[in-house]
Amino acid sequence: MRVRLTVVVDSVVSVLNEMTEMKGGRMSATLNDRRTEMEERLGDVRELMARALGQTVLNRLPPGTERQFLGTGKMLRSRLLFRAGDAAVTPVPVLLHSAAAVELIHAASLLHDDVIDGGFIRRNLPAFWVERGIPGAILVGDLMLFKALELLGETDDGRLMAALVKMTGEVCDAESEQELFLRGKQPTWENCVTIARRKTGALFAFAAYAAGGADPALSAALQEAGYAIGTAYQLADDILDVVGTEGDAGKTLGTDHMRCKTTAASAAAVTGVDPVLYIELLLQEAEDILAPWPAILRAWRQFADEDLRPAVNKSLAAYAAG
């Protein structure tokens, strides 16, 4: 009897193991399919950005130079747009043009940031200003800003344009405050968070807002959730500037500290606030905002788990180790 029971149990366990392996294989295949589809869509965004800049004098630069100002970054704002936008059934052309516009503005801001902070490396390449000069980097950044607006205008009825102009203005406002009024001053956590919300949160907010399509309530909720995760991302990036390595980050680090800027690292050192806990609270806040829309929340969590958290966790792990 024991022998027969043992055989039955072994048989059941074997079947369950096979089922688990099959399920795991299907889940792995599904995840790989999703990643492949996302990479294809990000490729479409890059093509649209390249097309827009190819209509300018930048088409006279040597081949490959565009990597220094378009780069091969994570494109988190585009990923957010596609994941949330698909769940909201927002038209694909709106998502594609919104993604290209916000990525161009983000890339332009990096050109200017590297000049301001003296960053020599960006995405594991020499910063654009290093090889093309400070005036060149400033001018190309300005050009990219206006090509972004032109791109968005190809599919927008004015609603998204107004939002993008407003939120890009917030980025500039935060950068100006950080440079002109807070640098070298005693940092506070409140100042740190308000800078992060506008400096980085604003473009995440635009991406989320655009994903909401024609639903005003959903777009407003997505916008606020975008501010929350964008703030969290910037706070994590502040930490990376102190505890990360340039090889992993792909950019010059330590410039915030050298220039005495108000960041999560400097503010936490003075105030005793736990930045890791604060970041987690912001990520949860974003999910809470979207709770009334279950399909959107599922897409949001997919973005958080597959796209955002790997980048954020790298900074938090380095902080914990330090």
DSSP structure string for 2-53: HHHHHHHHHHHHHHHHHHHHHHHHHHHHHHHHHHHHHHHHHHHHHHHHHHHH
Q: Output the pLDDT for position 21.
A: 53
Strand partners, 22: none
Q: Output the pLDDT for position 25.
A: 60
Q: Supply the pTM of this predicted model.
A: 0.89
Q: Taking Cα atoms as reference points, which of 207, 213, 198 lies closest to residue 148?
A: 207
Mean pLDDT score across all residues of the chain = 90
Answer whether 252's CB lies under 8 Å from 121's CB.
yes
Domains in the chain: ranges and CATH: 36-321 (1.10.600.10)
pLDDT surpasses 90 at 314: no
pLDDT surpasses 90 at 91: yes
pLDDT surpasses 60 at 265: yes
Q: Tell me the residue length of the chain.
A: 322
pLDDT surpasses 90 at 183: yes
Mean pLDDT of 5-21: 42
Taken in order 279, 238, 233, 156, the sign of the CA dihedral is: positive
At 125, which helix (H) or strand (E)?
strand 125-126
d(CA 148, CA 98): 9
d(CA 123, CA 246): 10
Q: Output the pLDDT for position 318.
A: 81
pLDDT surpasses 50 at 75: yes
Count the alpha carbons within 13 Å of 37 in the hemisphere toward its beta carbon: 9
d(CA 151, CA 51): 10
SS3 label, residue 163: helix
Which tops the pLDDT comparison, 20 or 251? Answer: 251
pLDDT surpasses 70 at 9: no
Percent of all residues in the chain with a pLDDT value above 70, rounded to a whole number:
90
Tokens 């390595």, residue? 245
d(CA 195, CA 235): 10
Q: Output the pLDDT for position 73.
A: 87
Answer whether 205's CB lies under 8 Å from 219's CB.
no
Which tops the pLDDT comparison, 1 or 311? Answer: 311
Mean pLDDT of 194-207: 98
Which tops the pLDDT comparison, 248 or 155? Answer: 155
Answer whether 91's CB lies under 8 Å from 311's CB.
no
Q: Measure CA 143 to chain center.
A: 22
d(CA 175, CA 187): 15
Which tops the pLDDT comparison, 217 or 26? Answer: 217
Percent of all residues in the chain with a pLDDT value above 90, rounded to a whole number:
77
Mean pLDDT of 89-106: 97
Mean pLDDT of 77-87: 98
pLDDT surpasses 90 at 22: no
SS3 label, residue 98: helix
SS3 label, residue 123: coil
SS3 label, residue 91: coil
Which tops the pLDDT comparison, 190 or 316? Answer: 190
Q: Output the pLDDT for position 156.
A: 83
